Structure 1
Amino acid sequence: MTLAFDLFWSFRSPYSYLTIPRLRDMARDYDLAIQLRPVYPIAVRIPGFFKTVNPLWPPYLMRDTHRVAEQLGIPYQWPRPDPVVMDMASGEVPSEQPHIHRLTRLGTLAAERGQGLPFIAAIGHLLFGSGVDGWDRGDHMAQAVARAGMDLAEMDAVIAADEARLERAIADNEAAQKAAGHWGVPLMVFQGEPFFGQDRIDLLLWRMRQHGLEARAGA
């Protein structure tokens, strides 16, 4: 019997990006389904969050994500431009956000179509791994999405037409994330049990094996 878990995901989260290779390995090697549930980054989801956060956290996050990427052999840099427009010094996040709403709606649409993992792998690499300066300009996104077997222009047309419905789906994801018992990403939830962080995948696999998780034939 195929087991499944929910994956709560943010397109600004470096730890979410660093999880992608292991998620792809899991989907390849085990009889499981990964159900992508995009949420908005905490900077957008919790107004004023970065005005009160401990000032030691951002520099530690950068140090830690760079060394995790080095350990895993994954290319990594902070996206240019940042998916969330904000003043890092003041923590001010304007309501007008040219990138993150589009990315999150596109990811939600891809998940609805059963293409969530290929989509986040393509966009995650573009943002954090490609080294592209100006990922939002030209045809960078279209090419990345095409390599994952999707059509960006068609998807953009759908999210423009279905904005309200997709926003409700994102809000439902955020409510489910909170109900599962955590606020961060990446968050994997299996049968109601939350596993937070890119360093909890082994623990998740251990729990799923207790429920009969099996390797795919030939894996």
Structure 2
Amino acid sequence: MKRRPRLYFSFRSPYSWLTLHRLRREVPDIFDQIDCYPYWDPDAKTNAGLAERGAELHYTQMSRAKHFYILQDTKRLAGQAGLAMAWPIDVDPWWDLPHLAWLRARREGRAVPFYDALVAARWERGEDICTPEVVARAAVVAGVDPDAARTAPEDAEIRAEGIDCLAAAYDDDVFGIPYLRLGRHRFWGLDRVDHFLAAWRPDADAQTDPTVAVPAAVLAGPAFDTDTAGGCG
């Protein structure tokens, strides 16, 4: 049996937020149809666990110039999608917290409502989702145990599951977010969503041909950067 499509997403990335919005508009039950892996900048403890697995992040930090471009680009794209947006200010963020809390919520069968509560807090209200208070409030909204959510990084099993997700990203050559994989085909960035949908559901009304603008060597080879826009860490 072929593996299901995989989506690597991040609460940090505005393009990840817009990508899932686009996917859910086309496939409302997308969370049930694909395997989702959270991806983030890990703290020292998670990094140590990755090192023990012989894994690391392929992603490198973006420049200040790229950050400002993404700010303008995201506001433009959010407006086109009819989404209100408040750009959050990240000060010394601890990304393990919201992503591990999401894994904890998934164990309770509340992955989707908790995802929605976190992205609403971050992208609609500009809140700091890397704080226990905001995570706990999102958990209450989503029907998740707030204490379990805000203390998820202290749960050894959840921490190990997070390391598994990042190790899978390493094995799948993930270098930026959002990142979709369908068999041997990889799709990086918001502007590759239609290509992914056309490849995944060829009988649906696809807007684009999934192979357009993708060199044959990329489709046939192991892993190459296509340097597409609409993707970040």
Asked whether 1:40 is paired with 2:40, we answer yes
Q: Say which of 94, 100, 119 aligns to 1:105.
A: 100
Alignment of 1:1-219 (within 5 A): 4-28=4-28, 33-41=33-41, 49-50=60-61, 53-80=62-89, 82=90, 85=92, 99-132=94-127, 140-157=134-151, 159=152, 162=155, 164-210=156-202
Give the whole-Å Cα distance in 1 for the aligned partners of 2:201 and 2:34: 15
Q: Which amino acid aligns with 2:85?
A: Y
Alpha-carbon distance in structure 2 between the residues aligned to 1:36 and 1:14: 17
RMSD: 3.5
Higher relative contact order (CA 8 A, sep 6+): 1
TM-score (norm: length of structure 2): 0.67
Using the TM superposition, give the Cα deviation of residue 176 of structure 1 relative to its aligned residue in structure 2, in angstroms: 1.7
Say how many residue pairs are matched.
193
| Aligned equivalent of 1:217 | none
TM-score with structure 1 setting the length: 0.70
The one-character-per-residue Cα deviations of 1:4-28 (angstroms, maximum 9, x if unpaired) are: 4222122211111222322333442
1:161-194 deviations in Å (ceiling 9; x for gaps): 52x3323222222222232233111112223432
CA shift, 1:198, in A, is: 1.9
Provide the secondary structure at the position in 2 that maps to 1:23. helix
Give the C-alpha shift of residue 67 in structure 1. 0.8
Alpha-carbon distance in 1 for matches of 2:179, 2:95: 19
Three-state SS of the structure 2 residue aligned to 1:56 is helix
Question: CA contact under 8 A between 2:135 and 2:150: conserved in structure 1?
Answer: no
AA of the residue aligned to 1:76: M
Deviation, 1:140, is 4.7
> Which residue in 1 is equivalent to 2:224?
none
| Contact 1:35-1:111 at 8 Å conserved across structures | no
- Same amino acid, percent of matched pairs: 27
* C-alpha distance in structure 1 between counterparts of 2:59 and 2:180, whole Å: 26
2:59, 2:30 → 1: CA distance? 40
SS of aligned partner of 1:63 = helix
Once the two structures are superposed, residues 43-98 of structure 1 have per-residue CA deviations (whole angstroms, 9 ceiling, x without a partner) of: 99759944xx4443112111111111111111112224x1x61xxxxxxxxxxx5x
Relative to 1, partners in 2 of residues 1:160 and 1:184: Cα closer, same or farther, differing over 3 Å? closer
Indicate how the Cα distance of structure 1 residues 27 and 145 shifts in structure 2: closer, same or farther if over 3 A, else same.
farther
